[in-house]
A and B are shown apart, each in its own frame.
Chain A
């Protein structure tokens, strides 16, 4: 049903646009040409800003790179426009790679500022190189030829522009619905969480950045051969801002938003340029006042969602799948000896020793709990084990291999998966999608495979695996709900389901019982015991003594960063040092 709606909307759009190209008067063909060109750039921004949370004010500069490269290739060197396209894509790719490597490492707000600066810089390069015609621009760009067909009119370019735009939208839509799309959304929501499920954040950001740049360059190539003339003005900062506005207006994270946003802004601009001069009695680009005001109001009403709320109505609700095969269990080397060995682990913050020389083992198939009063260093220890913090001393062995300096996104591939004390689920995605993110590292379907629909079997297997984990935790009924609508207890279970979807050898749970009702705690304890009997090893950090005492095989007690005691629950319970720490002294 849903797939029919999706297919239908694509066909309808293609048909409408195709018929429009045949029968519309020239004025509208021109207008739609621009909408298509802008939508291509806005599409890159939807992926970049809307989905992945990276803001760029430099897209017009990449459009310029595409346009000027093909100009140099065709006019200055006299070669074919198709070589111009290839060159433009390569140049924008390399440029985006270099700029991305420099700026993407920076925290949030430097990136947009950086993009403003280098796009202004590129603008002045375009405007001042005499080879590129300076401010006056450069003309005589040859039309594109496809075999014997010369695309020398707006109407003939119309076909090429819309084929490019619609296919880019379709391919992008496929990517956004895949494992890669889930990883991007996770990245926007919380980079650290994405990494702990195996997303290589740095590489993913770079990929998205380059993708947006290449789309912009494609738009620039089409633009140059449509107008057959380029000058620096359309590649300046104002146009970059307008592109971003298109993405914001269209709504964050939906490919159709790119089309809607570019249509709204382009038509509005056209109308305002007609009306405003007569209204104000003089000419000038006064439409920017209206644009700015519109964006401010929109941001105040619903932040950066724009008209995206409209698309949410048509969002994908998961239907059950029949997968042909099961997702294979990751093959991991097993070693003799304890699964996890914590050896003399120490962490200092300045003069403060938060974790001091902690040593313990976690044997295969057991539940080990780390407990201690507030400020004992439990959370720090947890962060050390999950690579959120670097060790100051000691080391951590997993399956006999040192894991205290590997990349954060590697941990889950080794078989260590975690839950969060403060729930980190994507609140506006479905429960099923959240759990599928957990299986990210077990699958390898890349963006190109996803774009053209290869390896779709793997996606189905992953969904089946996620559903299996959901029904194991009794969450069948809420699989299609948005994660943000669940109760805290259910959200914690979803966190565990997500961790289980990665098929871990070791499950790290950060205060899983915090904030749960009594009955919820009991069922959680039953569930963990069940997982243990299936052979899972669990290490949990917990506050609640009673919860831990009945469940854990082994307990490690921390106080002031030091190990106070270690042993079976019964031993720990009667340990005078533990009683002292918890109760403040033992009556003699």
Chain B
């Protein structure tokens, strides 16, 4: 193996690792705030990638319809709750938002603008379609059982993953898609030329990580999220609404997923069912961070990317087998360092 190959593999690994790090971050965020092990996060990546690809090819993907339908279901659930409340104004406001936003977005896209022409608008529209699915799906699936234990929530998350995979097949079809790179130039670094897209991916992921970190440390909303993560009852007592925290956190996760999708779609071909594998790679990173530590999770995810790219060189057929087998020593290490606890939350 020459040094050039090492550099190319390392670059590949870093780019993928950066995306896995974004995922790991979103997974840790969702888990700490709501205790949901968010398996469907991978579908947000595929939805982001495939929506972006559809817009590039000049048509509005069927996932907009899915957004509208789920928005209406969420709104109906809010209205039903409003009828049980003495002061229903907040529920009615949520209901109008859940129903109104997807309808307005959908009408605009289908009947007025069509798929946008400029790349920047395509990215924005992708985010505008995919990210709101986060809070909407939370409202439909997880909010009604917010008090269930981690394992029940996990089973629900896996069920949601199945639904989203099936809907992905309906909305995008069975064919894979790969998008035009956002930046189609290379930067020369001595012997090899690194595509600007790779640098942009790493930069974007770093930026998002820093932004999340900043938001969590210095803003009131971020502090509220952290408070909910530490103790949701306590947070409620000092005036933080756990539901608000969950909404924000699923919106952030949806946004991060969609951005990852836009970034990754130029690097690798994405199919409607690629999401689970991507999410699992993020999970391995997150597990290395023990599902609580952001920096450790990010480092773990980057390690996953590097291992993936080097193992694809040495034993390409067994790349995935090796990568997922890797979790076993990690779990062994965790099981030695972290004593067994009962799971009764």
Contact = CB atoms under 8 A, between A and B. Distances in A.
Interface centre among B166, B283, B338 (most CB of A within 10 A): B166
Given A108-B150, A114-B331, A288-B163, A280 B170 contact: yes
Contact of A110 (B162, B164, B287, B342): B287
Interface string B276-313: 11001001100100010000000000000000000000
A237 interface: yes
Given A114-B331, A121-B320, A245-B159, A288 B37 contact: no
Given A103-B331, A113-B283, A295-B155, A300 B338 contact: no
Contact of A128 (B163, B276, B321): B321
Interface in A200-246: 237-238, 241, 244-245
A109 interface: yes
Nearest to B333: A102
B155 A102 contact: no
Contacts of B164: 292
B119 interface: no
B274 to A, nearest CB: 13
Nearest to A294: B159
B199 interface: no
Given A106-B334, A116-B280, A285-B169, A244 B155 contact: yes
B287 A113 contact: yes
B29 to A, nearest CB: 16
Contacts of A299: 145, 148, 152, 155-156, 159
Nearest to A128: B317
A105 interface: yes
A138 B217 CA distance: 56
B343 interface: yes
Given A124-B320, A128-B321, A296 B342 contact: no
Given A102-B332, A288-B165, A303-B152, A117 B159 contact: no
Nearest to A124: B321
Interface residues of B, number: 53
Interface in B118-148: 141, 144-145, 148
Contacts of B163: 288-289, 292-293, 296
Contacts of A241: 158, 162
Contacts of A99: 328
B154 A55 contact: yes
Contact of A121 (B287, B291, B321, B342): B321
Contact of B141 (A128, A280, A296): A296
B interface, over-half SS: helix
B335 A105 contact: yes
Given A288-B162, A289-B167, A303-B152, A110 B320 contact: no
Contacts, number: 150
Interface centre among A116, A191, A287 (most CB of B within 10 A): A116
A284 B154 contact: no
Contacts of B277: 120
B338 A55 contact: no
Contacts of B145: 299-300, 303
B210 interface: no
B151 interface: yes
Nearest to B151: A55
A109 B154 contact: yes
Contacts of A122: 321
B82 interface: no
A53 B170 CA distance: 35
B331 A304 contact: no
B340 interface: yes
Contacts of A116: 280, 283
A57 B284 CA distance: 16
A108 B291 CA distance: 12
A289 B166 contact: yes
A284 B169 contact: yes
A304 B153 CA distance: 10
B325 interface: yes
A120 B320 contact: yes
B316 to A, nearest CB: 9
B160 A296 contact: yes
B318 interface: yes
Nearest to A298: B159
B8 interface: no
Contacts of A192: 342
Contact of B324 (A105, A120, A280, A287): A120
B285 to A, nearest CB: 12
B92 interface: no
Nearest to A237: B276
Contacts of A105: 335, 340
A112 interface: yes
Contact of A102 (B167, B276, B283, B331): B331
18 contacts: A53-B151, A57-B158, A99-B328, A107-B338, A107-B343, A108-B342, A109-B150, A112-B37, A121-B321, A121-B324, A122-B321, A280-B170, A284-B166, A286-B166, A288-B166, A292-B166, A296-B160, A299-B145
Given A108-B341, A245-B159, 7 more contacts: A53-B151, A105-B335, A107-B340, A117-B283, A121-B324, A241-B158, A284-B169
The 7 A-B pairs of least Cβ separation, nearest first, read A108-B343, A292-B163, A289-B166, A121-B324, A292-B162, A124-B321, A295-B159
